[in-house]
A and B are shown apart, each in its own frame.
Chain A
Amino acid sequence: MGCGVTKSNQFHKNSGKAVTSIKAAILIQRWYRQYVARTEMRRKYTWHIFQSIEYSGEQAQIKLYNFLGYLMDNFTPTSNERNLISHIFRDNDVCRDTEWERFFCYKKIEVPEIYSGPHLTFPLTVEQAVGLVEAFRNKKQLHSRYVLQLLLETLKQIRMLPNINRISTCQSKEITICGDLHGQLEDLLLIFYKNDMPSMEKPYVFNGDFVDRGSDSIEILLILFSFLLVYPSEVHLNRGNHEDHIVNLRYGFTKEVLTKYKMHGKRILKLLQEIFSWLPLATVIDQKVLVLHGGISDTTDLSVLARVDRHSYVSALRPPKKRNQSSATSSIDIDMEGDILSHIKLTQRRTSLTYPKPLARDIFQNRSLQDFSGLIKGNMVDDVEIHRKRPSISIQGIIKPENETTQAASSESVNSENVNDEWKQILDLLWSDPMNQNGCVPNEVRGGGCYWGPDVTEDFLNRHNLQLIIRSHECKQDGYEFCHNRKVLTLFSASNYYDVGSNRGAYVKLGPDLVPYLIQYQASSMIRELTVRQSVGRTERSALKVLREQLFAHKSDLACAFKMVDRKNTGYVNVHNWASAVESVMHLGLPWRMLRYQLVTSKTSDGMINYHEWFNDLAIKGTNTDHINQSLLETLYRHRSTLETIFRIVDTDNSGFITMEDFRQTWKLLSVYLKMEITDDAISDLAVTIDRNQDGSIDIDEFMEAFRLTDKKSRLERGRSMFMGTATDLTKLEGDLNI
């Protein structure tokens, strides 16, 4: 039929076009899906890079700490090194109530007229708390007088709190729970903007890690504490592993406070040390939902945790101070010699409670405390004297005390058992991470706490009649992540944690039905402008830059590893050998083959890598450091976080300066720790470069900067450099002694 034919023609024309449309659509869709997959892949390994480096930094911290602890146990009382560092192991001496007010007396601190920040009167009102938030939003700083006052009031308040807060969603109130903030004020402000500030109708739980890494840790603390004072029943704070003065030494909070509060920073820090130890450990909502910072282990017992004297754990990284000190004869510090015996036992256990081990995909190498025994005995630093009474150090590195001391030890051993069990409970609570497989193993990546599996969760929840665990401690791309059959929720509230665009933050709301309702966000208006591809690209570039720095810092070891493969010394290695050599040195468990295109720009056509050229590409240019030995520089660079941490430990009065003599001693310490030779001449060279005014003291910050150990540019920009282990972006209030 004519009609049909025409229609048929029409159809063919239409269908031809339709078919082409479809083909076009499919083509675009295919390519799009490939683009998404590749972007996702880049995001995955970028994330992997940041996380491996972060955790290996934490591990390094614990390793350093263990090393110092070991030194403490093995040095004679008169040794210089010991004196340098003994104070961080000393008990918190200012702990009697009557002395508090005197030591932390703020009344004599005057607030000058030109001060334009907020004025606080106590008891604090809601208006003042809100006003404080506004002031910080406008970049004001709170005067030290008010800071001390606020902190004292906070201390009075939280001392009365139990270890485990028990709260409820009665009266159909929704409880808002926030995860790690890490000094990122912008995120807290964003949360308050989206969710309103704490109030009678708006209870909050903040789940630890308020400080370190970000640049506004103290401001966050002050805000949280103010609201705690104003709404004591509605605002709840859990302690995180960063609420710990030893961790703060490395990760920037100490530095931030000392910089912002030049005159009174030391006292503020001391008071905070006390406050941190009094922070509650966990919160339980409606007897069904447990909120704590890190996690659990197979031995976690809430009834034990409810009973512990949390205050005695000033730092989770060190054994608790002994209450009853038995006196002994020698002349060492009271706290040390008083319980040398129990201390020995504690040391024994300490080796099993913290595990500094490298991150590797399959097998963990054993590089824990016991290795130090060898280097102390062997590689000698002149002033070090090993205590004569303890000659034999067994393979496990356990110190064998003499006979007469063991008897006394046994009577104290029962106490020690309890103390150590408690200590482990707290360590697990603050440092553990969940894992996918069943079981419970030590968390060797972080160096403390456990990895716990779904079976442990199941068992724990049943035993305690709970239904959900909300924890933080780990950065998640979407700000949150469920695991263990949705029985564990990880919540992270610091967006853009690794870099601009790296991740969102999230908070959760729980109503009486106890169903978690999650809200995500991302601070910084810059983010919204970037497309996904751009933001992944940025983060990727940032991660690679950091990775290159790490590689450069390990140049000598890498060169060794390459030479072992390249026996004929051709200067080339193939990709396979390159990848395995790099992994054997770096221990980061990264997909090196995949990353090689971004890391190695020089390559021959047959796929071999010219490693000398590669090192040149990686090199970071120093300033006026030509007279300094290259390998020493490399050591400095690689261990800059550790170096700075040791400096700050040695700087007992937190002034930012150390004496020349202490400076020398620090190097000796470091040379033992790193098992390398640092000659006196080399040290003198360094000192000369720094102590320009020859007054016998060294400015720590200047030192770190002189050797390009901090990237000055990023210090001035917004953002932090966690890989330096210091807080950047410290807008120094030039000469403002009024604060």
Chain B
Amino acid sequence: MAPKKKEEPKPAAAAPAPKPPEPERPKTPEFDPATVTLEFTPEQIEDFKDSFQLFDRTPANEMKITYAQCGDLIRALGQNPTNTEIMNVLGKPKPEDMQTKMLDFDQFLPMLQHICKAKDRGTYEDFVEGLRVFDKEGNGTVMGAELRHVLATLGEKMNEGEVEQLMQNQEDANGCINYEAFVKYIMAT
């Protein structure tokens, strides 16, 4: 009798197309604005209102923005969430809703608060650590081409135009980027 070939749970890497696994999606609970306590000062809220108003494109200045604008506004206010996190606070809307559904300032605030409280914001060291992964020669530089490839294919992929804009004038004559300088540049908004 042939030995029963036990179906071992084969690791994904052994599968025909070796693909790096997507990062574990943490089981994010459904976002419930009611559970968020606002900790902003009145001053801060006034500031946010100003910015909110700048994004408001409704004809009658109704103080509403589209779902699609929400992420941009949160980022403009100094946070740096991932797209996934944004979709989460928006309640995981359908793609077609992004341009049509609106939210007002009161709905926006808990979303912003939630993002503000998120840990793992990313420090200078985190960045440099991350980039060091691509530093093949351990000399403080990464290949521009490789970085472009990574940014366009991994994680929350960037498109060609975005990559180009980010990397504009960053590479030296050999196509290398000094990543510590690069990180300083990105963080210096």
A14 neighbours in B (Cβ, 8 Å): 13, 20
Interface contact A607-B43, CB-CB below 8 Å: yes
Asked if A48 and B130 sit within 8 Å, CB to CB, the answer is no
In the complex, which of the residues A8, A30, A437 has the most CB atoms of chain B within 10 Å of its own CB atom?
A30
Closest to B170 in A: A531
A28 within 8 A of partner (CB) = yes
Please determine whether A15 and B21 come into contact, CB atoms closer than 8 angstroms.
yes
A41 and B127 contacting across the interface, CB-CB below 8 Å: no
Q: A7-B11, A28-B127 are in contact. Are A34 and B150 (CB under 8 A)?
A: no
Contact B166 A32 (CB under 8 A): yes
User: Which bracket fits the contact residues of A?
Assistant: 35 or more
Q: B51 — which chain A residues lie within 8 A by C-beta?
A: 41, 591, 594
Known A-B contacts A31-B187, A575-B43, A593-B50; A11 and B14 likewise in contact (beta carbons under 8 Å): yes
Residue ID in chain B nearest A28 by CB atoms: B151
Q: Which residues of A contact B97 (CB under 8 A)?
A: none
B-chain residues with CB within 8 Å of residue A36 when the two chains form the complex:
75, 162, 165
The minimal Cβ–Cβ distance linking A706 to chain B, given in whole angstroms, is 40
| B187:A20 contact, CB within 8 angstroms | no
Tell whether, in the assembled complex, residue B50 and residue A30 are in contact, meaning their CB atoms are under 8 Å apart. no
Among A32, A45, A607, which residue has its beta carbon within 8 angstroms of that of B158?
A: A32
Q: Which residue of the partner chain, among A7, A28, A576, A607, contacts B186 with CB atoms under 8 Å? A: A28
Beta-carbon contact of B47 and A594 below 8 Å = yes
- The reply to whether B133 and A20 form a contact with Cβ atoms under 8 Å apart is yes
Partner of A32, one of B59, B78, B186: B186
Name the interface residues of B100-134: CB closer than 8 Å to any CB of A: 122, 126-127, 129-131, 133-134
Residues on the B chain within 8 Å of A32, using CB? 151, 158, 162, 166, 186
A15→B20 contact, CB < 8 A: yes
Binary per-residue interface labels of chain A (44-62) against chain B in the complex, 1 for a CB within 8 Å, 0 otherwise: 1100100000000000000
- Interface assignment of A737: CB less than 8 Å from any CB of chain B: no
Cβ of A450 to closest chain B Cβ, rounded Å: 15
Min distance, Cβ A284 to any Cβ of chain B, angstroms: 29
Segment among B32-40, B79-87, B88-96 that sits at the interface with chain A: B79-87
> Within 8 Å CB of A10, what residues of B?
13
Q: How far is the CA of A40 from the CA of B77 in the complex (A)?
A: 12
Shortest C-beta distance, B130 to chain A (Å), equals: 3
Q: A24 an interface residue at 8 Å Cβ cutoff?
A: yes
What's the least CB distance linking A530 to chain B, in Å? 9
Q: Mark B139-183, 1 if CB is under 8 A from A, else 0.
A: 000000000001100111110001001101100000000000000
Which of chain B's residues have a CB closer than 8 A to the CB of A124?
Answer: none
CB of A18 within 8 A of chain B?
Answer: yes
Q: Which residue on A lies nearest to B75, using beta carbons?
A: A37
CB distance from B175 to the nearest CB of A (A): 18
Residues of chain A touching chain B, judged by Cβ–Cβ distance below 8 Å, are 1, 4, 7-8, 10-11, 14-15, 17-41, 44-45, 48, 361-362, 435-437, 531-532, 575-576, 591-594, 607
- Not counting A15-B13, A29-B155, A34-B78, a sample of 4 additional A-B residue pairs whose C-beta atoms are within 8 angstroms of each other reads A23-B155, A24-B150, A29-B82, A34-B76
| Pairs A-B, 10 closest by C-beta atoms | A24-B130, A18-B20, A437-B59, A37-B75, A11-B13, A25-B155, A26-B155, A436-B59, A34-B80, A41-B76
